[in-house]
Amino acid sequence: MPVSGAGPRILVVEDEPVINQAVTDRLRGSGYDVVQAWDGPGAVAQFSDAVPDLVILDVMLPGFDGHEVCRRVQRDRPVPVLMLTARDDETDLLVGLGVGADDYLTKPFSMRELVARIRALLRRVERAATLATRGPARIRLGPLDIDPARRRVSIDGVDVHLTPTEFDLLVCLADAPGTVHTREQLLAEVWDWPDAAGTRTVDSHVKSLRSKLGAGLVRTVHGVGYALEATS
């Protein structure tokens, strides 16, 4: 049962009872309100009933997998999704990002890192809401049009659907077009991580961003990081 009056509500979706309960206990001990699900259909139902602020989602689930769960819940209401995967496979990671996941952890993972990732995701949601109320100026770079207040992106007038993390990454790069951002800088500014433990996360999100915006928009500076092309 959820903890009455606790902090942000988190839906934990994991079919392994021991892992599900361990994650739930740690999050409740950290002050979160937690609801649980153990399969794909149950996850979608709990998402609708509990209205969580964040979802922790295992990829391999009975009923239908975590990717399908992510598609369905993001279609109803955008929410931060942290995916758990047993395989450190780039194809799986890109599929997860493509259906709306914001971040991922590979099993086995430490509970400390899990809680840190959750806190970073929730801080980014708060920061995005603050930026939206301030109404920051639109960014136009050639065919690319970014509206930070409405969190919308278009290319040549055609809307492009980005996950919240992809959007934040694009805005960070677009704030200084042509400037190279190191992976460590992007982790600190976009993911709000104080260290460089997740540079591969940056690479995966850049690949997903390129697949939606075009391969030539984000330039790789090998051994350094990434820059948004200052197109005219």
Among all chains, which residue has been given the structure tokens 């839906």?
A: 11
Mean pLDDT, to the nearest integer, of 88-116?
78
pLDDT of residue 4: 44
Mean pLDDT, to the nearest integer, of 58-79?
90
Contacts 24+ apart (CB under 8 A), 21-25: 22/111, 23/56, 23/111, 23/114
The partner residues of 166 in beta bridges, in order of sequence, read none
**The two structure tokens encoding residue 82:** 């942290």
* Residue of higher predicted confidence among 108 and 192: 108
Give me the percent of the chain exceeding a pLDDT of 90.
42
Q: What is the 3-state secondary structure (H, E, C) of the chain?
A: CCCCCCCCEEEEECCCHHHHHHHHHHHHHCCCEEEEECCHHHHHHHHHHHCCCEEEEECCCCCCCHHHHHHHHHHHCCCCEEEEECCCCHHHHHHHHHCCCCEEEECCCCHHHHHHHHHHHHHHHHHHHHHHHHCCCCEEECCEEEECCCCEEEECCEEECCCHHHHHHHHHHHCCCCCCEEHHHHHHHHHCCCCCCCHHHHHHHHHHHHHHHCCCCEEEECCCEEEECCCC
Could you tell me which of 70, 64, 39, 36 has the C-alpha nearest to residue 50?
36
Instruction: In whole angstroms, give the CA distance from residue 97 to residue 206.
Output: 10
Could you tell me which of 137, 103, 106 has the C-alpha nearest to residue 121?
103
Mean pLDDT, to the nearest integer, of 50-78?
91
Mean pLDDT, to the nearest integer, of 28-38?
97
Q: How far apart, in Å, do the first and last CA atoms of the chain sit?
A: 55
**The two structure tokens encoding residue 183:** 């992976």
**The two structure tokens encoding residue 158:** 């055609």
Could you tell me which of 51, 62, 56, 66 has the C-alpha nearest to residue 22?
56
pLDDT of residue 2: 44
Mean pLDDT of the chain: 85
On the question of pLDDT at 3 being above 50, the answer is no
Instruction: In whole angstroms, give the CA distance from residue 77 to residue 147.
Output: 20
> Could you read off the pLDDT of 189-206 as tens digits, one per residue?
887 776 655 667 788 889
- Out of 25-39, 100-114, 128-142, 183-197, give the one with best mean pLDDT: 25-39
On the question of pLDDT at 97 being above 80, the answer is no
pLDDT of residue 150: 78
pLDDT of residue 223: 84
pLDDT of residue 38: 97
Instruction: In whole angstroms, give the CA distance from residue 153 to residue 114.
Output: 30
* Residue of higher predicted confidence among 65 and 193: 65
